[in-house]
Amino acid sequence: MKFKNVHFNIHEIANSGQVFRWYPVDEGYIIIANHSAVLIKQKLDEITLEFLSETKENIWIEYLDLDHNYGEMITTLRGKHPYLDDAMTFGKGIRILKQDPYEMILTYIISANNNIKRITAAVTAISEAYGDFLCIYNGIKYYDFPSKSQLASVDIDTFRTLGVGYRDKYLFEFIQGDFKPDNQIKLSDNELKSNLLRLKGVGEKVANCIMLFGYYRVNQFPIDTWMKKILIQDFDVAEKEIHNFVKTYFTEYGGVAQQYLFYYKRLRNN
DNA sequence: GTCCAGGCTCTTT
DNA sequence: AAAGAGCATGGA
């Protein structure tokens, strides 16, 4: 599978903080998603996907959000603030991928008060321990993210040994509970958020991430430590006003704007 | 050694 | 309602 798209850069997506299962290899990245493995490569504006396990092409068009026009979203956001303008120019190849809600819930529970490297390590360890084998590439084996039933017998201490720290009990509770991620897809933003907030280990920020990356609610603007820094330092917003400011300022594409800002702040070197 | 990381829960005012 | 302590773990 091959395509061209000016708003698509594999390195920017891989480092945008929304994916934890894009593994760098010499040629590009191994992506584990959709119960399969692919090798994604990019030369200039041409992107290539090589399927490394059984999969379907159309599901990757959906996952990579190829039907949305990011130029249009950028146009909507342009001119609001010079810092956002710079961020959109710097990371114009970033997209919001359509990831699995169930996987996002577990992943972002792990993410709380944690760093990206350790989150990646924990998600990988859980997958290697309990997920289905997908492929071997350059001598490294890759495993699917385990299903709820595959994690059903994992106790709290075992989660701890996989590197999730004190979030072990939250993962355990979710797996033992009866939350149905697929039943939330059609709910309104408010209903979805209040359901997510009932899960242990899910607060305002983690719920926003799950909504943005797992349910494609692109109006959601997760506020983490990096966003606080940006809004205070670069947008001159008072700390107490951050939530109010975000609610109205970034419009219906707040989540997209947030991704550009996050990437810009972390990777531009300032 | 202290601070921080895509924060949250629980307890105390 | 709001503020504070505590939390696993590894890197800077």
Structure tokens at A132: 């289905």
Nearest-5° angle of CA A87, CA A258, CA A78?
50
Query: How many Å apart are A20 CA and B8 C1'?
Result: 21
CB-strand contact A203/B, under 7 Å: yes
Predicted confidence band of residue A41 (pLDDT cuts 50, 70, 90): very high
CB-strand contact A200/B, under 7 Å: yes
Lowest mean pLDDT among A37-46, A114-123, A188-197, A240-249: A240-249
**C-alpha of A115 from chain center:** 14
**The predicted structure's pLDDT at residue A126:** 98
Query: How many Å apart are A208 CA and C1 C1'?
Result: 23
The mean pLDDT value of chain A amounts to 97
Strand C positions within 7 A of protein Cβ atoms? 7-11
Predicted confidence band of residue A163 (pLDDT cuts 50, 70, 90): very high
**C-alpha of A99 from chain center:** 7
Q: Is the pTM of this model over 0.85?
A: yes
Query: How many Å apart are A147 CA and B4 C1'?
Result: 32
- Contact between A91 and A16 (Cβ < 8 Å): yes
Query: How many Å apart are A167 CA and B5 C1'?
Result: 15
CB-strand contact A204/B, under 7 Å: yes
Segment A140-148 mean pLDDT = 98
C1' nearest to CA of A111: which nucleotide?
A: B6
Q: What's the CA gap between A47 and A65, in Å, rounded?
A: 14
Query: Which amino acid does the sequence have at A105?
Result: I
Question: pLDDT tens-digit profile of A204-239?
Answer: 999 999 999 999 999 999 999 999 999 999 999 999
CB-strand contact A99/B, under 7 Å: no
**The predicted structure's pLDDT at residue A268:** 87
Question: pLDDT tens-digit profile of A165-208?
Answer: 999 999 999 999 999 999 999 999 999 999 999 999 999 999 99
Query: How many Å apart are A127 CA and C5 C1'?
Result: 34
Percent of all residues in chain A with a pLDDT value above 70, rounded to a whole number: 99
Query: How many Å apart are A156 CA and B3 C1'?
Result: 28
Predicted confidence band of residue A269 (pLDDT cuts 50, 70, 90): low
C1' nearest to CA of A115: which nucleotide?
A: B5
Which residues are within 7 Å of strand C by their Cβ atom? A 113-115, 117-118, 160, 163, 165-166
Considering only CA atoms, which of A25, A29, A47 is closest in space to residue A38?
A29
Query: How many Å apart are A240 CA and C2 C1'?
Result: 13
Predicted confidence band of residue A251 (pLDDT cuts 50, 70, 90): confident
**The predicted structure's pLDDT at residue A270:** 55
Query: How many Å apart are A42 CA and C7 C1'?
Result: 42
Segment A11-38 mean pLDDT = 98
C1' nearest to CA of A226: which nucleotide?
A: B6
**The predicted structure's pLDDT at residue A114:** 98
CB-strand contact A259/B, under 7 Å: yes
